[in-house]
Amino acid sequence: MPRRVVRVLHADGEALRSGIATVQAELGVSPDFPPDVLEAAEKAAQQPRLPELDRTDIPFLTLDPEGARDLDQALHLERDGDGYVVHYAIADVAAFVSPGDPVDLEAHRRGETLYGADSKVPLHPPVLSEGAASLLPDQVRPALLWTIKVDATGEGTDVDVRRALVRSRAQLDYAGVQAQLEAGTADPVFALLKEVGELRQRREAARGGVSLPLPEQDIVVDGSRWTLEFRQMSPVEEWNAQLSLLTGMAGASLMVYARVGLLRTLPPPDPRDVQRLHRTAKALHIDWPAEQLYPDFIRSLDPALPNHAAMVLACTRLLRGSGYVGFDGEVPAQPEHSALASEYAHVTAPLRRLADRYAGEVCVALCAGEEVPEWVLARLRELPDTMQEAARRANAYEKALLNLVEATVLQPYVGSAFDGVIVAVEEKDATQGDVVVAEPAVEARVTGAAALPLGTDVSVRLVEADPGRRTVRFELA
């Protein structure tokens, strides 16, 4: 789907940046690092531990959002008979960060990079995350080189990961590559990415995995102009995501076989939640045959339709409860990520997520036939709690900044009417729920004098937009 940018309303950037500083203070986060962490990072950037294996012959490319500097992944694909070989280079953070050093300790305090608007609270100092450790173009970098063989059906058949020197030939972005693909001018590697990505998508469906087609709400910053938009992933972005999933599943298979590692998990959905969704589908006049499994039902939805958009949002209930589990000696009782219908590990974003550095180290050791480093084993049990707290903080940060921008953009329009769709209704009070307004791209609370019509196009009146409290509220007109 083309990127749909909404530029109806905008707000002054300076006022919003002041609000962002307030949010950061409330949550106790800062993009700045202590002096000892910066000093250690500067020294590490000059003295990385480089591997002997040189694979700078592989013509890697990076594919990320436009303007990104913390480049975790570089890709290359080639044919292998009727199958494929996927080379996936992942930034080697452990080449720069040592257990217990100031950068490592600070990373454990942060857990993951926080993103929102034009602000970023990085996991590692930028001299590493956007410099020496990032897979920037035309730079020789240490990496964890994953080599995964994929057969003609899209199934991974063999995996190896080892340390190597790599070099990216170019930094590309999703929108640019998508346009090149549509014009027939893209690098041939993206034709292979399309083939492998689509094969993996079909395998996901066959496994019973599911990806919700939920548009993301983005804040777009252009100088002093801030706007809101809903963004659907482009096909090339979805295919690239399948490479990350393939790698995460390969890493998980290594760790489960060896009975040591760190998995990303999601429990199976509660049958009561599935039954509740059946009732929601009936209320929205969407046919859901009793024999149709919920992953197949979700794949049948078209979020461009108002009632389907409400249904997609309701289905997020089934994806709650994700977390991590560390293990050494016994495989966890529930090792799967139910949305993927597979075991899975986070291994592809170590510049932005602490857990990936640890899982990557386990996989390197297993492929080399070596013992997993003691510093990794010592942290496996506590890492799930560290990452859970980091995820809570990241969600709070993103939500606070979205609420701030929405309230600031809408403040001059209190009393105005907007077109929207009721996407959620409270079970205990049907006069309250959520509305999605298309222009600007806002999802907010809405109240009515009577029960709200779920999944229906409505006219709503803006009754509150308070940047100080970061609240927006509509009433049914």
Please report, for residues 206, 212, 287, 311, 319, the alpha-carbon distance to residue 291 in angstroms, rounded to integers and kept in the order given. Answer: 16, 20, 12, 18, 21
The pair of structure tokens assigned to 59 is 């013509």
d(CA 362, CA 356): 10
Contact by Cβ (8 Å): 128, 103: yes
Say which residue the tokens 């079970």 belong to. 427
Contact by Cβ (8 Å): 298, 312: yes
The pair of structure tokens assigned to 64 is 């990320």
d(CA 295, CA 275): 14
| Burial tier of 27 (Cβ tally within 10 Å: 0-12, 13-18, 19+) | middle
The pair of structure tokens assigned to 100 is 């217990």
| 92 phi/psi in degrees, rounded to 5 | -95, 85
**In 10 A of CB 471, how many CB atoms?**
15
Say which residue the tokens 């890697």 belong to. 60
Whether the bond between 99 and the residue before it is cis, its omega within 30 degrees of 0, is: no
**Residue 182 CB contacts under 8 Å (≥ 6 apart), including other chains:** none
**Residue 442 CB contacts under 8 Å (≥ 6 apart), including other chains:** 217, 228, 406, 409, 410, 436, 472
d(CA 401, CA 16): 9
The pair of structure tokens assigned to 189 is 């590697």
> b or e along 169-191 (b: 16 or more beta carbons within 10 Å of the residue's beta carbon)?
bebbbbeebbeebeeeebbebbe
Q: Is 4 helix (H, G, I), strand (E, B) or coil?
A: coil
The pair of structure tokens assigned to 103 is 């950068």
> In 3-48, where do the E strands start and end?
11-12
- Tens of pLDDT along the chain (477 residues) come to 222 222 334 555 677 888 889 999 999 999 999 999 999 999 999 999 999 999 999 999 999 988 899 999 999 999 999 999 999 999 999 999 999 999 999 999 999 999 877 678 999 999 999 999 999 999 999 999 999 999 999 999 999 999 999 999 999 999 999 999 999 999 999 999 999 999 999 999 999 998 877 766 677 767 666 677 767 789 999 999 999 999 999 999 999 999 999 999 999 988 888 888 898 888 888 999 988 988 899 989 988 788 888 888 788 888 888 999 999 999 999 999 999 999 999 999 999 999 999 999 999 999 999 999 999 999 999 999 999 999 999 999 988 988 888 888 888 899 999 998 898 899 899 999 999 887 777 889 999 999 999 988 899 999 999 999 999 999 998
Q: Minimal CA–CA distance to 86: which of 242, 264, 258, 211?
A: 242
In the chain, the domains with their CATH numbers are: 11-242+395-407 (no CATH), 271-315 (no CATH), 414-476 (2.40.50.140)
